[in-house]
Structure 1
Amino acid sequence: MTAKRKVFAISSPGGHWIQLTRLCAGLEAEHEIVYALPDKLFKPKRDQKIYSVIDVSADDKWKLIPCAFQVGYILLKERPQVILSTGAAPGVVAILLGKLLRIRTIWIDSIANVQKISRSGELVKNRADVFLTQWEHLSDQQHVLFKGSVL
C-alpha cells in the first residue's frame, strides 16, 4: 500500500470554503487532506485536520504578515506535496509560500467569477503550477486553463 499524498487545502470562509470542501470530498479517499481557513467556529468531521489562520483581505493588508507566519508554520509542520486553494487572500499567501518551499500548487478560481479572473487569482495566475477557471471564456490557454466543470 502506497502512502497517501498530503494536500494542504486553504481558502477564505463562505463560498470559497464551500467550493473547496466540495472539491476535497472527492479527494479524501486517495489523499490526506489538511485544511486551513480563517474561521474558528468550523467544526471538523471525524478524521479531519483543520487549522485556523488569521482572516485577511485586500482591505487589511497588514494582516498578511501574521497570516504568512501561520501558513508557513503549517506548511513546514505538515509538509504537504500539494497546495490547493479556491481563494481568496489566505490562498494567495499559501500559493506564494508554497512556491518558495517548492511545493506543487493548484488554484481553482471561484465559480462566482463569471466576468473576469478574481483579484486574488490575478495575483497567483503566473505563479501557481496549475490555475483553473470554471468558465471557458476566461481561459487564456497558457496560465489560465479551462478543463470543464470543476464543481
Structure 2
Amino acid sequence: MSNRQPSQFTVLAIASGGGHWEELMLLRPALSEGRVVFATTNRELAVRDGVEKVHLLPDANRDEPRLALSSMIASARLVWRLRPHVVVTTGALPGLFCLIFGRLTGARTVWIDSIAASDRPSLSGALARPFATRWYTQWKHLETAAREYKGALL
C-alpha cells in the first residue's frame, strides 16, 4: 500500500542527457495524459526542446560512486516529493534510480532500454528489471517474456 496522496495523475518522465533524452522526447506525444513532469541531467536540452519546467538531477555513472550517490539521493527526493503515478525512463543511471524509488512508492514503472543496447540489455536496464512494471527493448532479437518489443523509437 502506498502513502500516495490523492492528486492529479502524474507521470515522471526522466532521462539522462544525449541519446537517452532524444529517445524520451520522441515519446512526448504518448505522454499526454495527466500532468507530465520531466527530469534530466542537462537543462540546455530541455530548453532546446521547449520543456519549460524540468527537474535537474546530477549526472552519474557506475564509475563515479560519489556522483552516483548524489544522483540517488536527489532522485529519491524528487520521487518522494512528486509521488508520481507512473515513472517512464529511457535511462541511464538517474532514470534507474527514479524507477526504483517510484516502484517503492507504489508507482507503475516503465523502462525503455536505449536503442544503443543492440547486443544485450544495458547494465542499468538489467538492474531495472525487478523494479519495472513494463520493460521494453528496441530490438526484436532481444525480446523475451520479460522484455517486450513494440518497435524502435529511432
TM-score, structure 2 as length reference = 0.85
Take 2:65 and 2:24, find their aligned partners in 1: how far apart are those partners? 23
Report the secondary structure of 2:12's partner residue.
Answer: strand
Equivalent in the alignment of 1:34: 37
Say if 1:33 and 1:49, in contact at 8 Å, map to a contact too: no
1:38, 1:140 → 2: CA distance? Answer: 31
* Identical pairs, percent: 33
2:18 and 2:135 mapped to 1: Cα distance? 21
For residue 123 of structure 2, the aligned residue among 102, 119, 123 is 119
Aligned to 2:91: 87
State the 1:4 CA deviation: 5.8
1:61 aligned to 2:65?
A: yes
Q: Note if contact 1:64-1:93 (Cα within 8 Å) is conserved in structure 2.
A: no
**C-alpha displacement at 1:41, in angstroms?**
2.7
Amino acid at match of 1:127: F
Which structure has more helix as a fraction of its residues? 2
Correspondence for 1:129 among 130, 133, 144: 133
Whether 1:146 and 2:149 are equivalent positions in the alignment is: yes
Where structure 2 has 5 or more consecutive residues not aligned to the other structure, the ranges are 1-6
- SS state at 1:58 partner: coil
Which 4+ runs in 1 deviate beyond 4 A? Answer: none
Contact 2:39 2:55 in 1 (8 A): yes
Deviation string for 1:109-132 (max 9, x for gaps)? 011211111111111122211000
Residue number among 9, 12, 20 corresponding to 2:16 in the alignment: 12
Q: Which residue of 2 aligns with 1:45?
A: 50
Cα-Cα RMSD: 1.9
Structure-1-length-normalised TM-score:
0.87
Q: Give SS of 2:55's match.
A: strand
The 3 A distance-change label for structure 1 pair 150 and 5 is: farther
Which range moved further: 73-82 or 3-12?
3-12
SS in 2 for 1:125: helix
Instruction: Please give the secondary structure, in 1, of the residue aligned with 2:131.
Output: coil
Alignment check: 8 A CA contact 2:115 2:152 kept: no
Amino acid at match of 1:59: D
